[in-house]
Amino acid sequence: MEILLAQSAGFCFGVKRATNMALEAAEKYEHICSHGPIIHSPQMVEKLAAHGVDVVSDIEDIPAGAVIIRSHGVSADELHQILDKDLDIVDATCPFVKKAQDYAQQLSREGYSVVLAGEAEHPEVQGIISYGTETDVYTVASFEDAEKLPRMKKVGVVAQTTQSYDNFAQIVESCLSKCRELRVFNTICDATTVRQNEARSIAESVDLMLVIGGYNSANTSRLARICKEIQPETHHVETAAEINPEWFHDVDRVGITAGASTPQWIIDEVYEKVSQVGK
Amino acid sequence: MEILLAQSAGFCFGVKRATNMALEAAEKYEHICSHGPIIHSPQMVEKLAAHGVDVVSDIEDIPAGAVIIRSHGVSADELHQILDKDLDIVDATCPFVKKAQDYAQQLSREGYSVVLAGEAEHPEVQGIISYGTETDVYTVASFEDAEKLPRMKKVGVVAQTTQSYDNFAQIVESCLSKCRELRVFNTICDATTVRQNEARSIAESVDLMLVIGGYNSANTSRLARICKEIQPETHHVETAAEINPEWFHDVDRVGITAGASTPQWIIDEVYEKVSQVGK
């Protein structure tokens, strides 16, 4: 059995940076916590916990000391709450997410209705839209969502950094039909596009596709959806333990990729397990 | 035989305004000429000539006195040449074209590469692009043209006022894939969209479609193309004289529309001729 492992599988720049900052902070501070899980990988969060990084969801519950702002960033309100608590801040917000926040703020200040192409429930999205307070702000997940928007005078579009380009382009197309002036900042992270394109190309050439990453990771779930459209035999797994040897009957070629928040050791374990099954 | 005449057929706001200004100017000035045909209707130009409005193509050949700037506008260079000649100017530039010129200038000043969705040879297009002198300016007629553009940092898109919205949207889609920041001013004139939509809807329900207007009129030619895609039995005619009674064998319903520069009397003549044929 042949195994094709995507070169782009695993940690992106922002996630690598955030986990490194968290590990360094864990050495510096006796007690430190992160506001929500630093990245959407339960296994990595567990590992950081072993180094003393606790996860606290509610800012009110953060004890005195230091706090890590996770890669997804925080909303403007949350930032004010954190500043009010006079905590040391380790800001691990992904620089690309920060850019999307800045553009949302700029567009809103310049009078554009802001449309964010992304998933309303995602913390990155909630952060970004919180900076567009001076005009109407809409979060749309799809072309169909965008079609329901009202007519507007000036529309500014930004994207969740892990959006698929095609979905984003369709949302832009819909926005164009709703206004006379459209301004678009394509804030999709290149790493996302590269990872999605490589996943597509691998999924086309294999009998079975594995996508590794946290079930709470939006970019991993999207990656799995993209692969499933091409190769229905696609499985989204979080760890090697979930791999079912029965999947591999009559399978000659297996493809493996992983989300931006999937640690290398988990990818290695999955690769090893698949190699054993395929022998 | 039933005849469906489009409500939106004929003169748009800008053309009506330009011809009225030309007729008024013809009364005021003993000698007056227009820089190129005022509108793309040879019959209307002939009528204006009877009132004393001569057409002069080359600015150098304009005699002392007054000049009419036609509805399509002039390029920045041409305007300077006209100003240098110290002529009285009757500026009949369509206000919507003027807006497109202003946006091209603004985008270029703000550092955007400018993409104009339109036909390179059209005087309106040549006028608009002449105002974007501070950055690269590209004229593209189609998605395929746009696909050949290089990658750019910031792209600003404007449209020839008589573009079809679908073509414009496809060009915008292509531009989105070529940059990180996109700014779009949809300068398509509403009258154009209304006329094209009505033409589509009529073409769908008739056995034969007539599109009336100058052969040199871009918007009429586009209207004819749009109708021909829906109803292959579409004929572009300039006057009633071109109507061939043989076209109407076995035809129950005829649709008629006309470009933005087609005078009402020509539409009336065509309607009359078709009514006679259909008796």
Per-residue confidence band for B118, with pLDDT thresholds at 50, 70 and 90: very high
The CA-based diameter of chain A, rounded to the nearest angstrom, is 62
Name the CATH architecture for the domain at A2-10+191-277.
3-Layer(aba) Sandwich (3.40)
The average pLDDT across A82-94 equals 93
pLDDT of residue B205: 97
pLDDT above 90 coverage of chain A, percent: 89
The DSSP symbol for B242 reads G
The DSSP symbol for B1 reads -
The verdict on a CB contact (< 8 Å) between B184 and A176 is yes
The average pLDDT across B148-160 equals 97
pLDDT of residue A39: 87
pLDDT of residue A17: 95
Q: What's the whole-number average pLDDT of chain A? A: 94
The A53-56 sheet, strands edge to edge: A53-56, A32-35, A66-69, A88-91
Per-residue confidence band for B133, with pLDDT thresholds at 50, 70 and 90: confident
Q: ∠ CA A167-B118-B20 to the nearest 5 degrees?
A: 130
Q: What's the whole-number average pLDDT of chain B? A: 94
Per-residue confidence band for B23, with pLDDT thresholds at 50, 70 and 90: very high
pLDDT of residue A65: 87
The average pLDDT across B151-174 equals 96
> With contact defined as beta carbons under 8 Å apart, do B257 and B194 qualify?
no
Mutation test of the interface with chain A: which of B103, B107, B183, B192, choosing the one with the most A Cβ atoms within 10 A? B183
The average pLDDT across B48-72 equals 92
Closest Cβ opposite residue A176 in set B172, B179, B180: B172
**Minimal CA–CA distance to B239: which of B265, B217, B200, B277?**
B265
**Minimal CA–CA distance to A213: which of A19, A38, A37, A43?**
A43
pLDDT tens column, A7-60: 999 999 999 999 999 999 999 998 899 999 998 889 999 999 999 999 999 999
Q: Which CATH class is domain B13-93?
A: alpha beta
pLDDT of residue A22: 94
* Confidence check: pLDDT of A67 > 90: yes
The verdict on a CB contact (< 8 Å) between B186 and A179 is yes
**Minimal CA–CA distance to B38: which of B275, B271, B261, B274?**
B261
What's the pTM value of the predicted model, to 2 decimals? 0.85
Structure tokens at B192: 């154009």
pLDDT of residue B204: 97
B173 neighbourhood in chain A, CB within 8 Å: 169, 172-173
> Bridge partners of A138?
A115
The continuous run of DSSP H or E covering A211 comes out as strand A208-212
The verdict on a CB contact (< 8 Å) between B183 and A183 is yes
- Out of A78, A119, A124, A238, pick the active-site residue: A124
Q: How large is the ipTM?
A: 0.84
Per-residue confidence band for B210, with pLDDT thresholds at 50, 70 and 90: very high
- Out of B124, B144, B269, B272, pick the active-site residue: B124
Is B124 part of the annotated catalytic residue set? yes
The verdict on a CB contact (< 8 Å) between A186 and B169 is no
Closest Cβ opposite residue A184 in set B165, B182, B186: B182
Are both B2-10+191-277 and B96-188 of the same fold? yes
**Minimal CA–CA distance to A130: which of A87, A78, A205?**
A78
The correct CATH number of B96-188 out of 3.40.109.10, 3.40.1010.20, 3.40.190.10, 3.20.20.450 is 3.40.1010.20
* Confidence check: pLDDT of B278 > 80: no
Structure tokens at B105: 């200038």
CB pairs under 8 A between A and B: 45
The average pLDDT across A138-164 equals 96
* Confidence check: pLDDT of B53 > 80: yes
| Minimal C-alpha gap between A156 and chain B (Å) | 9
The verdict on a CB contact (< 8 Å) between A180 and B186 is yes
The average pLDDT across A107-134 equals 95
Per-residue confidence band for A204, with pLDDT thresholds at 50, 70 and 90: very high
Domain regions of chain A by residue span: 2-10+191-277, 13-93, 96-188
pLDDT of residue B132: 87
